[in-house]
Structure 1
Amino acid sequence: MRKFVSMLAVLLLAMGMLVGCSLENNATSTNKTEKKKEDGVKIGLSISTLNNPFFVTLKEGAEKAAKEANATLTVVDAQNDSAKQANDIEDLIQQGVDVILVNPTDSSAVTSAIESANKANIPVITVDRSADGGEVVAHIASDNVAGGKMAGEFIVEALKDGGNIVELEGIPGSSAARERGEGFHQVIDKASNMKVVAKQAADFDRAKGLSVMENILQSQKDIKAVFAHNDEMALGALEALEAHGMKDVIVVGFDATDDAVKAVQEGKMAATIAQKPALIGENAVKTALKVVKGETVEKFIPVPLELVK
């Protein structure tokens, strides 16, 4: 009997040790999983183009935030090609990223790619430009309508006697072009002594801004102001105006890139609407990390604007 009791005690002790080890292993495994969830997040960032200083700065802001969080950030450049952007996003889905950040080349064309991510249960966050379709958990951008209004109000204040205005639009179909133009016209269309005599797309590109402005100047000589939907187009327009000796034309851009701010400081450009692209990129990554952890995020996360003049 004593021998049986002793054997039972040894057996119970061994079982206790096994259970303890099992619990310890499970706890270690759980800790590793939690650590991986914090440090091993894979984020994809699809940028419309890296041939624009604004988006280069946005990318750098995202990279900084990802590095600080020990997250992996994969950046792909759509080169302003909607079809390439769709393929890039499909590649990110195949790579098994946890979240996709999208800066759409075209707000409508990007819809099918976002829907593909939705089907793969990968959350999507839009950056700077919104999407017309698909399920998006958050949108991080400046208030482009408000920025357009700021540009319009500046021109109205500067042109006391009124005059003709040229508007250089961004990529047709992009939310930024639509919204900046909308805000601008909310102000300008109410000014009885001002008229937009030419409105043409230059695709947010400096070289196109130059060529489009050159073409406009062939038929429109009496111009008092130019509003460009971004600084690259504004700088291109400025070059065309200077070539025609029209240095008194008020030129207003949007983004506050380094070149544009320098042009404002030198008195060549009148003003630019300052976005904070680095902050947009940082906020995008920080929001992505919250989404992965299951936290609730706002549908629209605004980034402040200011007038640089």
Structure 2
Amino acid sequence: MAWNSGRFDRWGTLGASTGAVVLCAAAALSGCSKSESPSSASTAASDATASAAPAAAASGKPKIGFSVSTLNNAFFVGLKLGVEKGAKDQGFDLVQTNANGDAQQQVNDANNLLSQGITALVLNPIDSKAIIPAVQKANSMGIPVFTLDRGSDGGKVTSFVASDNVALGATGAKWIADKLKERYGSPKGNVVDLIGLVGTTAATDREKGFSDEMAKYPGIKVVARQEGAFDQEKSLNAMTNILQKFPQIDAVFGANDDNTVGAEKAIDNAGRYKPLGDKEHIMVIGADGTAQALSAIRAGKQDATISQNPIEMAAKALSFIADNNAKKPVPANYAWPTLLIDKSNIDSDETKKYGLWSLQVSQ
């Protein structure tokens, strides 16, 4: 996907937390991976016939359509909960579909939603290019489109709500550089970069942020860049191969916490786990703040995660739909802040205030 720097010049922000590393974020997820259940509609709405213009549901409430990329990843379960929360808060009827990681299925789902008299379409795209026809069809019908966590490369999107993934990637790189400086006296060492799901704006932007920041440290060598695809099994396999090839690895950046959990399993399996503080400890930092990552941080298997809050992020997107319905201005891009969590602040009041969203998600 082509990099569009202008997209981030226009971000609105919620504000920063105090006392920890907080970033404003733009388009993702965490993360992303395959899904588990068939594409299905839920949450209720009367059967409405296709319309060339937005129409209210039979209940008189605006009807919102939501297509989530997958529910086989806790982050996207969090997005679903946030959309449901936002719909309830704003008094919307909601129709949902799960594309199960299939980009063409998602386009089909979106077209089906557009035939049901919805007044707005919320998309969490699997692929930023593949979703374009659905966005363009909504545009032709006069139905506003809102993208959540991941963006679209074409068509008109009214508002894009996510984390600033370029900044997120840069934070991961700087954290690694700082830790390597503590270890060696200057930022140097061997680093592995496990990239997210290629084709998503989140993966592209995190990789750009990470790579651009890491380029500032000539003493650090990125010995391997492989796609982990926001998937634990793929990341485990990729990291297993990397560990066999490189006897010296100092740190791993995972584009999301599924990538890092897979990497941690590979490190364990290879007998190369060393506890925090050991000079041979392989430092691992990820993103999203999943329950597995938080447990790994407490156990000393993962050093840090750059947490998002998909529940609150999604609810904010629904509030923008209400504003748009009321003819109020809404931001074209809105960045939800992130928080770097490690062992020093995982149980702090600040972290609790930010929200350990993964504790609200059960799979």
Normalised by the size of structure 1, how large is the TM-score? 0.85
- The corresponding residue for 1:272 is 305
Of residues 42, 47, 64, the one that matches 1:43 is 64
The answer to whether structure 1 residue 303 and structure 2 residue 329 are counterparts is no
Of residues 78, 84, 89, the one that matches 2:105 is 84
Higher RCO (Cα < 8 Å, 6 or more apart) = 2
Q: Which amino acid aligns with 1:88?
A: D
The answer to whether structure 1 residue 211 and structure 2 residue 224 are counterparts is no
- The corresponding residue for 1:121 is 142
- The corresponding residue for 1:237 is 263
Do the aligned partners of 1:255 and 1:274 also contact (CA within 8 Å) in 2?
Answer: yes
**Shift in alpha-carbon separation, 1:163–1:39, aligned structure 2, 3 A:** farther
User: Matched residue of 2:300: which SS?
Assistant: coil
Do the aligned partners of 1:105 and 1:174 also contact (CA within 8 Å) in 2?
Answer: yes
Unmatched segments (≥5 aa) in structure 2: 1-55, 274-280, 343-363
Q: Which amino acid aligns with 2:287?
A: F
User: Matched residue of 2:97: which SS?
Assistant: strand
Q: Which amino acid aligns with 1:294?
A: K
Larger radius of gyration: 1
Give distance in 2, aligned partners of 1:229 and 1:90: 31
Shift of 1:216: 2.0
Do the aligned partners of 1:126 and 1:139 also contact (CA within 8 Å) in 2?
Answer: yes
- The corresponding residue for 1:61 is 82
Task: Map residues 140-159 of structure 1 onto 2, 5 A cutoff.
Answer: 140-159=161-180
Task: Map residues 1-309 of structure 1 onto 2, 5 A cutoff.
Answer: 40-160=61-181, 161=184, 162-247=188-273, 248-309=281-342
**Shift in alpha-carbon separation, 1:41–1:115, aligned structure 2, 3 A:** same
- Count of paired positions: 275
What is the root-mean-square deviation in Å for CA atoms of aligned residues? Answer: 1.7
- The corresponding residue for 1:8 is none
Give distance in 1, aligned partners of 2:59 and 2:341: 39
Q: Which amino acid aligns with 2:240?
A: E
User: Matched residue of 1:304: which SS?
Assistant: strand
| Post-superposition CA distance 1:70-121 (Å, at most 9, x none) | 3112221112211111111111111121111111111111111111111111
Q: Which amino acid aligns with 2:315?
A: E
| Post-superposition CA distance 1:125-174 (Å, at most 9, x none) | 11111111110001101111111111111100111232111111111121
Do the aligned partners of 1:99 and 1:292 also contact (CA within 8 Å) in 2?
Answer: no
More helix by share: 1
Normalised by the size of structure 2, how large is the TM-score? 0.73
**Shift in alpha-carbon separation, 1:295–1:223, aligned structure 2, 3 A:** same
